[in-house]
Amino acid sequence: MLSYVAGGNSKGVAVLFLHGWGGDTSSVEPLRGALESEYMTVSADLYGFGKTPHPDKALTLNDYAAGVKELLDALNIPRAVFVGHSFGGRVAIRTAVLYPDTVSKLVLIDAAGLKPRGAAFKKIRAKIHKILKFFNDRGLRGSSDYEAAEGKLRQTFVSVVNEYQDAEAAALKCGALIVWGARDKATPPYMAKRFRRLIADSELHILPDAGHFAYLDKLPETLMLIKAYIAGE
């Protein structure tokens, strides 16, 4: 089962925090810790990060979603507000599609998952990589996340980043609060605007002078937005 940190008001709304690729529960602790006085809060170490080991096989987004569902079941939390940052946003979206009854509301912060501009170029680059790898056993240099991952986690990275969730976003029934950094270069603001168009009953807030970790760059503003969204204001 996923390792986790839990606390807060047992009578409050349940809020689950999902960190980005390379992070762990500590990455979202500024959010969880600030909200635990009002809500029942849980943050999870996703497979391969923090205290949760990666199994000896490549994983898919479905596996990560199943792990989240297993954790909620173990904690006897039938339904929660999901707050996903970057890769955590990918996992939150997939969980909302596979297990819609578990997600009451969705907060996407600088979330990954949409098909990027220039995807055709990336396909060509992937083919070149395979050709070069055949000849020199290395190929083209990958992203920093790819280079940092090892073994089965690297295979998982390749699997999940090549899944585009545009259609899933359009199928969501839970709505979404979309919070984004205006200076985000990892998942640029055009993705936030596309999420807003795709997800019915969604609202978008682009925070100035904030990057890919908008919730850290603009913590008070992010907390205010999340609280208002949960309250339905």
Sign of CA dihedral 71, 176, 86, 209: negative
Superfamily of the domain at 4-117+164-231:
Alpha/Beta hydrolase fold, catalytic domain (3.40.50.1820)
- With contact defined as beta carbons under 8 Å apart, do 18 and 83 qualify? yes
State the SS3 of 18-65: ECCCCCCHHHHHHHHHHHCCCCEEEEECCCCCCCCCCCCCCCCHHHHH
Please give the Cα distance from 35 to 113 (Å, whole number). 26
Extract the tokens encoding 156: 């998982």
- Residue 150 pLDDT: 62
Closest CA to 183 of 140, 221, 212: 212
Strand, helix or coil at 201? coil
pTM for the whole structure: 0.89
Residue 142 has pLDDT above 80, yes or no: no
pLDDT band at 132 (very low <50, low <70, confident <90, very high): very low
Residue 127 has pLDDT above 70, yes or no: no
Residue 125 has pLDDT above 70, yes or no: no
Q: What is the mean pLDDT of residues 166-175?
A: 97
142 φ/ψ angles, rounded to the nearest 5 degrees: -90, -170
